[in-house]
Amino acid sequence: MDHDDYTYKRLKDEYRMSCDGDGFGDCMAWAFPIAIELAIRGDGPPDSWGYKAGAGGSHHEPDDYAAMVIADYPSDVLEQFGNVLSRYQAKCHAAGISY
CA dihedral angle for residue 39, residue 72, residue 10, residue 44, rounded to 10 degrees: 10
Over the stretch 46-82, which tens digit does the pLDDT of each residue have?
A: 999 988 887 777 788 878 999 999 999 999 999 999 9
More confident residue, 86 or 54: 86
Band (pLDDT 50/70/90 cuts) for residue 30 is: very high
Query: Helix (H, G, I), strand (E, B), or coil: what is residue 54?
Result: strand
pTM attached to this predicted model: 0.89
Contacting residues for 1 by C-beta, under 8 A, at least 6 apart: 72
pLDDT value for 1: 55
